[in-house]
Amino acid sequence: MKLALILNVIDPKIGGVMIMGDRGTGKSTTIRAIADLLPEIEVAADDLFNSHASNYDLMSDIIKQKIEQGINISTEFIKVPMIDLPLGATEDRLCGTIDIEKALNEGIKTFEPGLLAKANRGILYVDEVNLLDDHLVDILLDSSASGWNTVEREGISIRHPSRFVLVGSGNPEEGELRPQLLDRFGMHAEIRTVKDPSLRVQIVEQRSDFDKDPYSCIEKFEKRQCQLKSDIVLAQNRLSNVNIDYDLRVKISEICGLLNVDGLRGDIVTNRAAKAFAAYHNNDKVDVKDVKKVIKLCLRHRLRKDPLDTIDSGSKVTQVVDDILGSE
């Protein structure tokens, strides 16, 4: 789970993480904690959509118009947005709608941005994603596929960038996720309750220490957290120089073919995740070990479910990977 989140921070194009597991295993806590590891981003000042000041793909139409008119864009640095999508959210809250207060008081039609606007260039987190209403799932699918959100409301037509890392968590006992949405997640991690008694005691003690004195507990781990933050920033800068051999790319695609993975997302995500993992470990070239470390996270949720099959999808991926890449 932690590895999948870190790799998505290094390369957001991996496409997010789906984390399924038992209740009380720290899924939500871990996901919300990742926000503290993210470096600040530069955005256009007073912009509703966290627009980039020089990258056209990450700019709202308003900022583009200002640039075309020769207006100088002032910028500021902000923390990467971490937006929660509650299960009971309405479509208007997610997409944005007309600002009723301004319309009534001033007679002006203006757009009030929704959660997709606030999550641009950040993380959109959906807890209990398998319980999310179908109409909200459709909106998420559309915006995550195109990277844009289009709103047509009461005479207002707005289109703004909506590039976010989609992170979901849930308990498989509470229901399955729609295959279309599951396929949108770049990686899939399964969490099980720890069985080792000594490790369980360690977790309980750390939790008790935090409840007694949160500040000293944060201070205790601050040095390690700063080191992790620094490693992530270095990996982000190194990522564009990481290469993966043609032969290794062929083997990745061979594994996807043998597993009957639908489409090519599995190949693309595995290549990206392997590069991010190599960059994270200070390497400029992807090797077999890097691929083996990430491929199960990238493919386990993309396999077709056979109701008569008793083998776990993760085990099936491991078997094929060992056959193609070797079991060392």
From the first residue on, what is the mean pLDDT of each consecutive set of 10 residues in the chain (328 residues)? 91 88 84 83 83 80 83 84 87 81 70 86 88 83 82 77 87 78 85 89 90 89 89 91 92 89 88 94 91 89 65 71 75
Question: What's residue 34's pLDDT?
Answer: 85
The dihedral over CA atoms of 109, 115, 117, 119, expressed in degrees to the nearest 10, equals 170
User: What are the domain boundaries of the chain?
Assistant: 2-40+79-191, 197-239, 242-325
Distance between CA atoms of residues 268 and 249, nearest Å: 10
Q: 155 Cβ partners below 8 Å, 6+ apart?
A: 109
Question: What's residue 310's pLDDT?
Answer: 44
Compute the half-sphere exposure of residue 315: CA atoms within 13 Å on the CB side of its CA.
4
Question: What's residue 312's pLDDT?
Answer: 57
Reply yes or no on whether 153 is catalytic: no
| DSSP letter for each residue of 38-100 | SPPEEEETT-TT---SS-GGG--HHHHHHHHTTPPPPEEEEPPPEEE--TT--HHHHHEEE-H
pTM, rounded to two decimals: 0.84
CATH architecture of 242-325: Orthogonal Bundle (1.10)
H or E element, residue 144: helix 134-146
Question: What's residue 26's pLDDT?
Answer: 83
Q: Find the catalytic residue in 265, 272, 300, 302.
A: 265
Question: What's residue 311's pLDDT?
Answer: 45
Beta strands in 91-235 (DSSP E): 96-98, 111-113, 122-127, 148-153, 156-161, 164-170, 187-191
Taking every pair of C-alpha atoms in the chain, what is the biggest distance, in angstroms?
Answer: 70
Homologous superfamily (CATH) of 2-40+79-191 is: P-loop containing nucleotide triphosphate hydrolases (3.40.50.300)
Q: What phi and psi values does residue 41 have, to the nearest 5 degrees? A: -115, 150
